[in-house]
Amino acid sequence: VNEIYGKPADGKPRGNDDWERTIHPDDLERARRDFDAAAATRGRYSSQYRLLLPDGTTRHVRARATFLQDSGGTPKMVGAEWDVTSDVLLNENLMRER
């Protein structure tokens, strides 16, 4: 995740605030809505959005997660994010050529 977000691998945990500060402003409302819908049902989270990195670079990310409960009943979210920038740019180029 540190590499995707352009952050140093310093061992510091990344929280929801870090996530929201990095999401492109045009995608933030939808990403929040997707997350909130999954959290409300403790279901699966699925979203795709852009990140604005500290160096000004934009990356496209696909995220998938699910909510679980630990033995104490505390909900946890476990998932992964993929940098899909090259796929998105290739698709955009193909659409322009058509």
Domain ranges of the chain: 2-97
Architecture of the domain delimited by 2-97? 2-Layer Sandwich (3.30)
Triad 74, 80, 84: Cα angle to 5°? 155
pLDDT tens digit at each of 98 positions of the chain: 567 777 666 666 567 787 888 999 999 999 999 989 988 888 899 999 999 988 889 999 999 999 887 788 787 888 889 999 999 999 888 988 88
Q: How far apart are CA 12 and CA 27, in angstroms?
A: 25
Name the pTM for this structure: 0.76
